[in-house]
Amino acid sequence: MTELSQGTWILVADGAKALFLENVTDAQNPNLVVRRVEEHDNPPNRDQQSDRPGRMPDPGPGQRSGLAEADWHRLEEARFAAEAADILYRLAHRGAFKRLVLVAPPRTLGELRAHLHKEVSSRVVAEIGKDLTNHPGDKLEKVLLAELAGA
């Protein structure tokens, strides 16, 4: 069981929004204060594509194959996760937190993990693979307590 002790930071993120929160009270009755908010406009992939996928000649006569189209939405989510990891590194380097809980959908959590500096990853005490970015603050605290109690 991991607890949200005083001073624990929580990153609640998805592919377009990141909330950097700090628990300013004890673990039994957490009070999460927003320390920073980052948001990116990341429209659906269909709105970011410019053309149809390209075509490429095949070895056979008159044959052509379609090329896979890049998923711009997913690429932007990965870039955003890298930016959030960079912000966490700067905060850790300044001594802003000693304990960190990461909360993000599984794919975003994987991207975050891939970009975390060892100075940050050594401070991660728990990870929750859920999208909680749009939960109101009081509900977020309850969900976090329930998730961490089961961890």
C-alpha pair distances (Å), 146 with each of 79, 125, 129, 141, 149: 30, 15, 13, 9, 5
Q: pLDDT for 60-83, tens place per residue?
A: 676 766 656 667 768 888 889 999
Provide the CATH topology of domain 9-39+72-150.
Answer: Nucleotidyltransferase; domain 5 (3.30.420)
Q: pLDDT for 109-132, tens place per residue?
A: 999 999 999 999 999 999 999 999
DSSP assigned state of 132:
-
The pLDDT value recorded for residue 74 is 80
DSSP assigned state of 52:
P
The alpha carbon of residue 70 and the mean position of all alpha carbons in its chain are separated, in whole angstroms, by 21
**Which residues are registered as beta bridge partners of 33?**
22
Residue 19 has pLDDT above 60, yes or no: yes
What is the pLDDT of the chain when averaged over all its residues?
Answer: 85
